[in-house]
Amino acid sequence: MQVGVQFQGDDVGPKAFARRAEEAGFDSVWCGDHVGHLIDGLAALGLYAGATERITIGLNLLVAPYRSGAVMAKALATIARAAPGRVIAGFGVGGEFPGEFHATGADIGTRGRFTDEALEIITRLWTGEPLTYEGRWARFDGFTLEPVPRPAPTVWVGGRSEAAMRRAVRFAAGYTPYLVSPEQVASRRQRLDELLAEAGRPAGSLTIGVLATTIPAVDVDAAVDRGLTSLKLSGLSPESVKARYLLGDDESILAGVRRYAEAGVDHMILGCLPGSEAQRDEFFATCSRLLPEIRAL
């Protein structure tokens, strides 16, 4: 199992977080993508590329409907040339924050279809071949993207729906659902293998990555209280936090990771709770201490 960490906001910023992740020996460092809060995904990923030398850097996830396909292709190509061979571009359709769709002029009702078209444009532009294309949102007549990233970023696709899994099979090397329990991961892995077979791809050929916000505390209940106070996400309950996050002391966190490993997760992404520098220090101390045991799962 590979192990990454994800920046979700603090007073220091993503650059220092990425450097610390690389120094601690994690396999990857990730960021999300927001307009109204936390960080812009493309800007943060560019900071990661400049601040690190070896670690894989990834977006989990870039909300595709906020930007045109060509704009995303160019930005990610620029980052990939600064960090060759170490960029994972994860794409999602968003929807949890409707206000961000209003702010960007994106249509929440067509976000899936927009993302499918954008991914086709992005992956074709990264080949370096002239693109002639007539889509619903974009049109190209022999357009080329220069310079082309070599190698191109690795594409992952996120989401919990059937459409997201089909999108991953069509476009991606990895699939990363969000806010899922180990049981939900296992059922999705089985469904992905069915879809892969339909598409003529080998079973198990998609890397499964899962983000689980990791909250160290003296026990699980104390971690739940901290999470509900800090995350401020609608729809969260103590039961949903316990089902989908890694909580409590070392033993409890490791037991949670083990359940994800048994469900078929290949790349575990430990999310750092937004908050103070001291909270970030506690997160890194705990995750670094557990890193060898998690890798061994």
This prediction's pTM: 0.96
Q: Which fold has domain 32-178?
A: TIM Barrel (3.20.20)
Closest CA to 260 of 185, 198, 161, 207: 185
Tens digits of pLDDT across the chain (297 residues): 999 999 998 888 999 999 999 999 999 999 999 999 889 999 999 999 999 999 999 999 999 999 999 999 999 999 999 999 999 999 999 998 999 999 999 999 999 999 999 999 999 999 999 999 999 999 999 999 999 999 999 999 999 999 999 999 999 999 999 889 999 999 999 999 999 999 999 999 999 999 999 999 999 999 998 888 876 655 678 898 898 999 999 999 999 999 999 999 999 999 999 888 888 999 999 999 999 999 998
Domain ranges across the chain? 32-178
d(CA 176, CA 165): 9
